[in-house]
Chain A
Amino acid sequence: MRKPKLSKVVIAIAITKLLTSCGGTIPEESSSEAISSNKAFSVEEILEMVAAENDITRTLYTKGIVGAGKKQGLKFDEDWQDDEVEAGPLPALFLRGISSDIRKSSVPLGLYLGSDFPINASNKLEGKQAELFKKIKANQKPQFFYDESQKLHTAMFADMAMAAPCVNCHNDHKNTTKKDWKLGDVMGATTWQYPSDSLSYKEAIGVLNAYRNGTKAVYNAYLAEIANFKNSKKPNIGKLWPSKGFNLPTAEVFIDSVRKLTSYKSLEVLVKKGAPVASN
């Protein structure tokens, strides 16, 4: 066999070197892969944490803004973003708005709301979700599954009738499919999805931030809608809540109240699991 010439070998090595290592590299894009070490949390823990924040946020919005606001004459509507409608988002739409805003961020978190008796048929749970919702209705415990087709870790949490306006509005709504909701009922479920089975400390904070930023964005969108009211009276926007008159809190005041109610629990989760583990 003829030996390859030395020059050819040198050229081959040079080309290989050039194609593989010269000129620096492009960093891996996904943070979840870049920081694969230090996965401190399971996806279940983080989704439970953010779902708990969601429960508190929505209860505050439903009770403090929608419920109290309606008594003051504020209007809330499914079509609140339509041009001729001068109203705020109903709680389900508030969640839908948060979900949309999360999608605009780089955090790969999915959030959906569904029920077996939804007002809007597009929110009816189907397939695997409907199956698991039966269990949630029975024991109110979260359900987790891996969605093979999308390769996403999926969690479902009970969406309870926590405040009177949930029950009253759903029972009285002209398109309701169930008229006997009562406080404490499991009215539906939130479905959350995330691509990896574990999260680093940074990723966990990312999930929380995406949710919180979503809340702020939707609330700000509501205030922007009010600013464009032409025929309806505009509430005073400041430090006061609708329970104290024809007012609405600013986004900062609203978000601050949400954080006061949620942060203790969330921080507990993050600190307990996020602290570096000492190796012996």
Chain B
Amino acid sequence: MFNKNPLRRRQYIGSLIGIGIGLLIFIILPQKAAEDFLSLGPMNTGHEGLSCNACHTDAKGNVMQQLQANIAHTFGARKKEVDFGTQNVDNNKCLECHDRPNDRHPTHRFLEPKFKDAIAKINATECETCHREHNDTRVVLADANFCVNCHYDLEVKNDPIDVPHSQLIANEQWSTCLQCHDFHGNHVYKTAEKIKDTIPLTKIQDYLAGGSDPFAQKKKHLPLSEEEWKKVKSKYKK
């Protein structure tokens, strides 16, 4: 067949190379070992060993159905868009493993209208505002002074600490809050009563950046591991 037109040979070889590369992509990329290559960046602290599909679960329907649904949405024939390929990773996904009854600052708390101004400054209704994934860290915020957004007018009665809260607030020392108070309130520890005994800011900053935990090793509730999460999932998947 190459005798008819010598260009055919080039077409033929080109097609074979194209199909070959396509097949390699199709076989290699879905492998577990390729996950690092596909990832947007290194996982955050504690998530290092997670599989992509622990968070990026398959969206409902097949690709054609998803395509059709979104075209229908574009033309107004459908009220909501659907996820394409994988499901959107939102709070619910995080909470499947991290939900705890003792969370001192659960995201839904900030949906109350009174927090409107605060969440305009820091959107505490979304986990990813502070914990955006693929950043090789714990908290992506540059400073540890976010408490000011809600607690700016805090008054503490029977103040237990040697440098009173009123003084810390007057001096705008908002980065000292975390030296005693763990934001989500899951660590089991006793807070210091003297400022000099509190956790140094450098250790807090190191912790937020993914370093060791300065509050306590003991926690009241532990998040589900991927294996535990899978078990729970399969139990309720009927």
Chain A residues close to B by CB (< 8 Å): 18-26, 28-30, 33, 81-84, 97, 99-100, 103-104, 110, 112, 114, 121-122, 124-130, 147, 149-150, 154, 174-175, 191, 193, 221
Taking a contact as CB atoms under 8 Å apart, the answer to whether A81 and B220 are in contact is: yes
Chain A to chain B: the 5 pairs with minimum beta-carbon distance, closest first: A81-B102, A26-B61, A103-B108, A126-B114, A83-B188
B63-80: contact bitstring with A at CB < 8 Å (1 yes, 0 no)? 011111101100000111
Taking a contact as CB atoms under 8 Å apart, the answer to whether B157 and A26 are in contact is: no
17 extra interchain contacts, Cβ-Cβ under 8 A, other than A23-B65, A30-B80?
A19-B67, A19-B71, A20-B68, A23-B68, A24-B61, A26-B65, A28-B80, A81-B220, A82-B220, A83-B220, A100-B108, A110-B108, A121-B151, A127-B113, A127-B114, A174-B158, A193-B113
Taking a contact as CB atoms under 8 Å apart, the answer to whether B101 and A150 are in contact is: no
Query: Does B99 reach chain A (CB closer than 8 Å)?
Result: yes
Taking a contact as CB atoms under 8 Å apart, the answer to whether B68 and A25 are in contact is: yes
CB within 8 Å for A33 and B113 given contacts A23-B62, A26-B69: no
What is the interface of chain A mostly: helix, strand, loop, or mixed?
mixed
Taking a contact as CB atoms under 8 Å apart, the answer to whether A175 and B68 are in contact is: no
Taking a contact as CB atoms under 8 Å apart, the answer to whether B113 and A174 are in contact is: no
B153-196: contact bitstring with A at CB < 8 Å (1 yes, 0 no)? 11101100000000000000000000000000000100000000
Shortest Cβ distance from residue B63 to the other chain A in the assembled complex, whole angstroms: 9
Contact of B101 among A18, A25, A100, A130 (CB under 8 A): A100
A sample of 23 inter-chain contacts (CB < 8 A) reads: A19-B67, A21-B68, A25-B61, A25-B69, A26-B82, A30-B80, A33-B79, A33-B80, A81-B220, A82-B188, A82-B220, A99-B108, A103-B108, A110-B111, A110-B112, A121-B154, A122-B151, A129-B114, A149-B113, A149-B116, A150-B113, A175-B158, A191-B112
Question: Nearest A residue to B99 by beta-carbon distance?
Answer: A104
Task: Give Cα distance in the complex from A120 to B92, angstroms.
Answer: 28
Shortest Cβ distance from residue A109 to the other chain B in the assembled complex, whole angstroms: 11
Shortest Cβ distance from residue B49 to the other chain A in the assembled complex, whole angstroms: 26
Task: Give Cα distance in the complex from A100 to B106, angstroms.
Answer: 8
